[in-house]
Structure 1
Amino acid sequence: MNAENLEMDKYLFHQGTHYTAYNFLGAHVCDGSVRFITWAPNAKHVQLACDKNDYTGEGFDFERLGDQGLWILITPRLQAGDKYKYKIYYSDTYHLKADPYGFYQERRPATASIIHNSDFEFTDAAWLEKRKKLNVYETPISIYELHLGTWMKHPVESTENKTVDEITDESYYTYKEIADPLVSYVKEMGYTHVEFLPLTEHPFDLSWGYQVTGYFSATSRYGRPEELKYLINELHKSDIGVIMDFVPAHFCKDAHGLRLFDGTPTYEHPNEEIAEKREWGTLTFDYGRPEVQSFLVSAAMYWIREFHIDGLRIDAVHSMIDLNFENKEENRKIFNEDGTEDNIAGIELLKKLNTVAFEYDETLLMMAEDSSDEPMVTSPVYAGGLGFNFKWDLGWMHDRLDFMEEDFSAREYNHNKLTFSMAYKYNENYLLPLSHDEVVHGKKSIVGKMAGDQWQQFAQTRLLYGNQMSEPGKQLLFMGQEFGMYHEWKDKEQLDWHLLDYPIHSALKKYVSDLNRLYVKHPEFHRADFQPEGFRWLLVDDSTHSILSYVRRDEGSFKVCVFNYRPEVYHDFKIPVPEPGVYREIFNSDSEDYSGSGVVSNGRHFTKDENYIRESQYIQISVAPLAFQVFDLEDKKIGRN
């Protein structure tokens, strides 16, 4: 606990290269005392406001630690569990601030940090060892995205004389309580990973965790940090990977948070035009400041190292790399000296973050939620890229959803929306998302977006999910969409689990489960996602029927996929195939098991030895309405004419 032993920590922190700065700053219990270190470069004085001094700060004065804005206090008068804030004096006033490096915070609306020592021991060594052997580009990745507070809730017996927060808190499952039902459900559904919306501490429930105050603190809404570790440990023991949304793009302006931490812009950019995220009411970090770099990279590494998170989805990358992300008017635009609009400091921060993460473990999943057309997002840093290994394909998502909202009579004229994603498919390593962002704010649920009557809506939902599973790229689906929620995500209530009492909803749930297992079982659907030889169009231009077909290949084996985006049935329909022989249908979304109409192509389908489109043979099948069908080469032999 001796201040003289901290020289290397100080040096690295101020250089922007302290990637475990949470072991240096914040509150740490050791040898019967607690050491507090904070960074407030323009503060005149710092005190610790806590239970022991009724939050006055009296008797707990910090000393300067060097001459670059670090402050230190070591005291034997406090212990784990005590609450505290930093009282930071600037000019003729002071601010009470939560600890930016605090490991635990009071549950909102309270805002104090809590001295915390974690004693949890992970037992997921087998999972971590297995993960190290994976090639993330060739392995199946099917992600179940969820918001922990609304996936499932306890009933609240009485609301009398209770605040909204109290009622909400009573309804929450703790991290530990939710472990058994969540693990069981994800295993039943066949997902390989879960992705949690941010679990870092945040003051406002309806920000969903995207406006953060505690970058090192698991939100206390659902319990203690050890309970979150328990949940992750249980998921790993069941061979389920864990991804968490992480938000280095901006932070909220709440008074107890990072804003004007020492009375001046400390964590936020000093230029107000760059700092302000006007649409979100938040602030942009000063990415060029070395101490902020140490803070953000350490925060990401904290979840990876200390909580065994398998990957991070980095939110709002576009807003980090574009100086004019919000500036549409020419008179508001910001330019670099060379006339470019790149946020160079933001780009370098992302490169540093990804470099550090992959130096620690090259099998991590670092995913960019990026709506820009910035090239080389998933190229290595050494090759000039941002260094992510996956990028969300928002173009695929918007094209598919736009197309499937259209009336069937208009689809002939928009056929390219089904095919355009393959034109840029190999520019990046893509993940195909159907995320929470697409089922809120009046956008309707996935089922609700589909054209037609109820049967057609559910048939098209199955069709969409079949396309997502079989097109090159990893995949993500937001909670509730696996069983056909009619409502959007309501973000205050639990999922409409009662819908599973109805056959059409339970059948969709079974379909998604079977689809996930088809995906995992057959390497053709995941092994060569990022290699052009893993995909080949068979039928691409048939806008008249709105039918598509392609082959997914893994070395010597392949699967033929057929899609019908019209409610018509086509019998004896010709599908070109890459090799002669006998084909059999192995999967059909129109099966009666999935509440389909039961138009299936049973039996053996012999190839016809005749050139058709780009192939030397074809088969004739029954194409089911609004359906996804998969055919396997059962027997390699000459087809019958």
Structure 2
Amino acid sequence: MDRAKNSLSDAVSQADITAILSGDLADPFAVFGPDHRGIPGRLLCFDPHARTMDALTLDHVLPLAPLGGGIFTGDIGDAPYRLRGSDGTRDWSYDDPYRFGPVLGDLDLHLIAEGRHRRLWQALGAHVITHQGITGTHFAVWAPHARRVSVVGEFNAWDGRRAPMRRRNAGVWEIFLPGVMQNHSYQYEVLPQSGPPVLKSDPLAFGAQHPPQTASVVRGTGAHIWRDAGWMAGRATRQTREAPISIYEVHLGSWRHHDGQPMLYTQAAEELVDYVHDMGFTHIEFMPLTEYPFGGSWGYQPTGLYAPTCRHGAPDEFRALIDAAHAKGLGVIMDWVPAHFPSDAHGLAHFDGTPLYEHADPREGFHPDWNTLIYDFGRNEVRNFLSANAVYWLREFHLDGLRVDAVASMLYRDYSRADGAWIPNRDGGRENYEAIDFIQEMNTQAYGDTPEGVMTMAEESTSWPGVTQPVYAGGLGFGFKWNMGWMNDTLRYMAHPPIHRAHHHDLMTFGLVYGFSENFVLPISHDEVVHGKGSMLAKMPGTHAEKLANLRAYYGFMWGHPGKKLLFMGCEFAQPQEWNHDAQLDWSVLQDPAHAGLQRLIRDLNRLYRGTPALHQRDADPHGFQWINQDASAESVFSWLRWGHAGQPPVAVIANFTPVERRWRLGLPQTGTWEEMLNSDAEVYGGGNRGNLGKVTADGPPHAGQPHSALITLPPLSTLFFCPKEPR
């Protein structure tokens, strides 16, 4: 027997034993399993917790010879087998992962190598499957410069020597681990070409542990049974540039708390969805819900782009939230961050010991504003990782759109950089050609490789041309663009006391000079109510009552202005404090009738906007807008017409940004009775109830370029909407 053991021991090289014990085994499938070093039937396995190890076949129990340190070997022939270890007090059995063949096919590897795998998440990541008749989890990760990659978790005591992976083409490593199932935590132990191994979370993980823990979690890619077929079939008509789109922006962690804790996806599926539906918005936009380690980043520094954050529940619970929104006729948009990523050790930074996802040169790869790393958009595999991620959310979670964060930072190589701190493009310019290619590629796939009717939105703060032009026409291919210029100008105007507004009149009119060059969204977002900027209410001048009146008039101006609408949570009822991501909104303020009145105004503005074609059909068409009087700077009055398609009645909008009530002659395009559709000074909104008793008569002479006119009462700090009662 001893001679047999010695014979077996002699067949295993000391180099292999040393590599196993030191965790430096480069080709584990040549060493472990039932064909050690090409010898048929020669089994080698490793379990440092075992004192003895048996191979269990259908007919026999074959004791394996110990070689020290938990290494065992023996001849088992070609019989199927399981392994049974013992430490002297307990036994355990398992299927040997090294008796299983690879899972990924040549086509997967070819497409990954080319950066063209449209379903990358189906190839990489962790997937519970049945392979060669056994159920377990298939792991695959891209780490082309690593010397060794292992899967570690509680199932192998987080020991990187236990499950080193098979290296495949395209720099992909994979292994099938029998018995590893849903909800198991895991990471990759990556051994770089030099230096010690590092623990990395899975870039394509579908779940993660609760921060500050950093491991990935095995999750399914969707057992949810969707019930939104009707919504999906009709979505395309709800998200065009002619559709009414009014978006409620939400940070889910601070909208409302339960027992002092942020709400769960399951709670949001009822409370948030019902609230947004009641308020008349058409869409919910979530600030990023891809997994992120630092709560203070609000999700804008993600480490798990393929995992909805576990802070609020499981992936299928997020799917159920989206399903619930669709059942109420609400679209769901999520902020998406392909511009940069944090440098946390467990994330993408130096993933395989090299700058793999990021640029190596900090002049290209480090973002000075956010202390983050910038993706290498020139690398095919990185572009594939990001573009496939956009498609993943739109397909697997039925998201209706993605709002792409920080687009300007991608477009310009010198973004927030001093002279000499950036690298020009090949033509010596500042444009980032590689990022442009990526954005166009992402939008092409988002619109072409997902169910019909999705939309993408760009947060782009410069005058880059063609942001919402199709890619085939040379544009970036977004569906919509946030109008940051409009937002900045109009908020600057509103911050001035009314007595000074006459000198800044053009801040309210300049947006119409370029207002139809893109498909614009008018955003009052979270960025306007944090970092010392104060709340929307605090931006307004005057007494508390005057602040509320200014805000009512401003919202009326916004909803009457061309462009889709976006309002951050809490702004709809004039939360007094600026937003705090650690606390829920101050819902108690709604006990004040004036704040409740402002909330009612937003509800009514949304319903007016949705139900009146002239206010949304031609948001991006210059023929849908006509000034009545843009030059009444001395009075700080603005008036204009909104036109729908033929047969739709026009709407006249007039705004007064002084605390002076006026009798005003309003030029109108037709005679007859014009209904006062909405008056922001109405008592139900907290105003003084001054107005026109619901209607005016256009029986006056031509005025302000219009063939007819009506003498109206224009309340102080107010916006009014009029529509002909008998449309022509």
TM-score, with length taken from structure 2? 0.84
Contact 1:582 1:636 survives alignment (8 Å): no
Instruction: Tell me the CA shift for residue 630 of structure 1.
Output: 0.8
Q: Deviations along 1:360-409, whole A, 9 cap, x unmatched?
A: 34521200001121100000000000000100000110111100000111
Give the letter aligned to residue 184 of structure 2.
D
Q: Which one of the candidate residues 467, 475, 500 is aligned to 1:377?
A: 467
Q: Distance in 2 between matches of 1:629 and 1:501?
A: 26
Shift of 1:463: 1.1
Match of 2:370? 280
Indicate the residue corresponding to 2:682 in structure 1: 591
Offset, 1:92: 2.9
- Measure the CA separation in 2 of the matches of 1:53 and 1:136: 52
Counterpart in the other structure of 1:168:
none
Partner amino acid, structure 2, of 1:350:
I
Q: Which residue of 1 aligns with 2:129?
A: 30
Cα distance in 2 between the residues matched to 1:259 and 1:6: 28
Identify the range of structure 1 (130-139 vs 369-378) with the bigger mean alpha-carbon deviation: 130-139
Query: Which residue, 344, 347, 354 being the options, matches 2:436?
Result: 347
**8 Å CA contact 1:101, 1:214 repeated in 2:** yes
SS in 2 for 1:426: coil
1:611 aligns to 2:715 (yes or no): no
Higher relative contact order, structure no. (Cα contacts within 8 Å, ≥ 6 residues apart) = 1
CA–CA distance in structure 1, aligned partners of residues 695 and 181 of structure 2:
73
Deviations 1:245-302 (A, max 9, x none): 0000000010000000001101111222111001101000001111111110111111
Q: Which amino acid aligns with 1:235?
A: A
In the TM superposition, residue 456 of structure 1 has moved relative to its aligned partner by: 1.2
Pick aligned residue for 1:137 from 241, 260, 265: 241
1:551–1:558 CA contact under 8 A, matched in 2: yes
Could you tell me how far 1:57 is from its partner in structure 2? 1.5
- Quote the sequence identity (%): 40
Q: What's 1:111 paired with?
A: 214
2:349 to 259, 270, 273: 259
- Residue number in structure 1 paired with 2:177: 75
Q: Residue 426 of structure 2 aligns with which residue?
A: 337
Q: Which residue of 2 aligns with 1:165?
A: none
State the match for 2:24 in structure 1.
Answer: none
Contact 1:534–1:553 (CA under 8 A) maintained in structure 2: yes
Q: Secondary structure at the match of 1:358?
A: helix
* 8 Å contact from structure 2 (residues 239, 455) kept in 1: no
Partner of 2:478: 388
Alignment partners' CA distance in 1, 2:586 and 2:656: 30
Distance in 2 between residues matched to 1:276 and 1:219, nearest whole Å: 25
- Compared CA separation, residues 135 and 219, structure 1 to 2 (3 A): closer
Partner of 1:161: none
Q: Corresponding residue for 2:69?
A: none
Give 1:188 deviation, angstroms.
1.1
1:94 CA drift (Å): 1.1
Of 14-23 and 192-201, deviating more is 14-23
Seen in structure 2, the aligned counterparts of structure 1 residues 441 and 135 have a Cα distance that, compared at 3 Å, is closer
Structure-2 separation of matches of 1:92 and 1:584: 76
Deviation at 1:306, TM superposition (A): 0.6
1:575-626, CA deviations, whole angstroms, 9 ceiling, x for partnerless residues?
A: 1111222223121000011110111112653324533221222111001111
Structure 2 unaligned segments of length 5 or more: list them.
Answer: 1-99
- What SS is found at the alignment partner of 1:456? helix
Shift of 1:3: 3.1
Residue of structure 1 in register with 2:187 after alignment: 85
Mapping 1:480-519, distance limit 5 Å: 480-519=570-609
Distance 2:727 2:430 in 1: 57
Cα distance in 1 for residues equivalent to 2:440 and 2:512: 27
Task: Give per-residue Cα distances to partners, 1:553-595, cap 9 Å, x unaligned.
Answer: 1123101101001010002x11111122222312100001111
Closer/same/farther in 2, CA of residues 257 and 4 from structure 1, 3 Å limit:
closer
* Equivalent-residue separation in structure 1 for 2:397 and 2:500 (angstroms): 50
Deviates more, 1:586-595 or 1:600-609: 600-609
State the Cα distance separating 1:335 from its structure 2 match: 1.0
Pair 1:126-2:126 in alignment: no
Checking the alignment, whether the CA contact within 8 Å between 1:235 and 1:241 is kept in structure 2 is: yes
RMSD of aligned residue pairs (Cα, Å): 1.4
- 2: CA distance, partners of 1:2 / 1:188: 55
Superposed displacement of residue 15, structure 1: 1.5
Distance 1:516 1:70 in 2: 50
Q: Residue 301 of structure 1: SS of its match in structure 2? A: helix
Deviations 1:221-242 (A, max 9, x none): 1111111111111111111100
Give the corresponding residue for 1:146.
Answer: 250
Q: In the alignment, which residue of structure 2 is the partner of 1:563?
A: 655
What amino acid maps onto 1:61 in structure 2? P
Structure 2 contact 447–455 (Cα < 8 Å) conserved = no
How many Å separate the matches in 2 of 1:134 and 1:179? Answer: 21
Deviation at 1:536, TM superposition (A): 0.4
Superimposed CA distance per residue, residues 161-218 of structure 1 (whole angstroms, 9 cap, x where no aligned partner): xxxxxxxxxx122111222111111111011100000000000011000000000001
Match of 1:16 in 2: 115
Taking the aligned partners of 1:513 and 1:95, their CA distance within structure 2 comes to 52
* 1:39-58 equivalence runs, <5 A: 39-58=142-161
Using the TM superposition, name which of 33-42 and 252-261 deviates more: 33-42
2:405 touches 2:458 (CA, 8 Å); kept in 1?
yes
Distance 2:183 2:348 in 1: 23
Task: Look up the equivalent residue of 1:386 and give its one-letter code.
Answer: L
State the alpha-carbon separation in 1 of the partners of residues 410 and 361 from structure 2: 15
Is 1:322 the equivalent of 2:412? yes
Q: CA 1:604 to 1:57, structure 2 compared with 1: closer, same or farther past 3 Å?
A: closer
Pairing 1:536-555 to 2, within 5 Å after superposition: 536-555=626-645
Larger radius of gyration: 2
Q: Is the 8 A contact 2:248 2:568 kept in 1?
A: yes
Q: Verify the 8 A CA contact 2:239 2:454 in the aligned structure 1.
A: no
Are positions 1:472 and 2:562 aligned together? yes
Q: Is the 8 A contact 1:27 1:36 kept in 2?
A: yes
Contact in 2 for aligned 1:584/1:602 (Cα 8 Å) = no
CA distance in 2, matches of 1:636, 1:377: 36
The answer to whether residue 455 in structure 2 is matched with residue 365 in structure 1 is yes
Secondary structure of 2:233's partner? helix
Code of the residue aligned with 1:343 in structure 2: it is: N
Deviates more, 1:317-326 or 1:354-363: 354-363
For 1:163, the equivalent position in structure 2 comes to none
**Deviation for aligned residue 1:5:** 5.2
Read off the aligned partner of 2:660 and give its amino acid letter.
E
Distance 1:308 1:492 in 2: 29
Q: Residues 390-405 of structure 1: matches in 2 within 5 Å?
A: 390-405=480-495
Confirm or deny: 8 A CA contact 2:103 2:138 kept in the other structure: no
Structure 1 residues 134, 144: closer, same or farther in 2, change over 3 A?
closer
- How far apart, CA to CA, are the structure 2 residues paired with 1:374 and 1:362? 27
For 1:61 and 1:326, how far apart are their aligned partners in 2? 42
Q: Contact (CA 8 Å) 1:580, 1:636: kept in 2 or not? A: no
Residues 581, 636 of structure 1: 8 Å contact kept: no
Checking the alignment, whether the CA contact within 8 Å between 1:474 and 1:526 is kept in structure 2 is yes
Q: May I ask how many residue pairs the two structures share in their alignment?
A: 620
Give the AA of the match of 2:174.
Answer: I
Cα offsets for 1:85-131 (capped at 9, x unmatched): 10000113111000000000000011111111232111111111110
- 2:299 is aligned to 209
Quote the Cα distance in structure 2 between the aligned partners of 1:603 and 1:308.
Answer: 43
Given that residues 468 and 477 in structure 2 are in contact (C-alpha distance below 8 angstroms), is that contact kept between their aligned partners in structure 1?
yes
Q: For structure 1, list consecutive stretches of 5 or more residues without a partner in the other structure.
A: 157-170
Matching residue's letter, 2:107? M
Greater shift after overlay, 224-233 or 627-636? 627-636
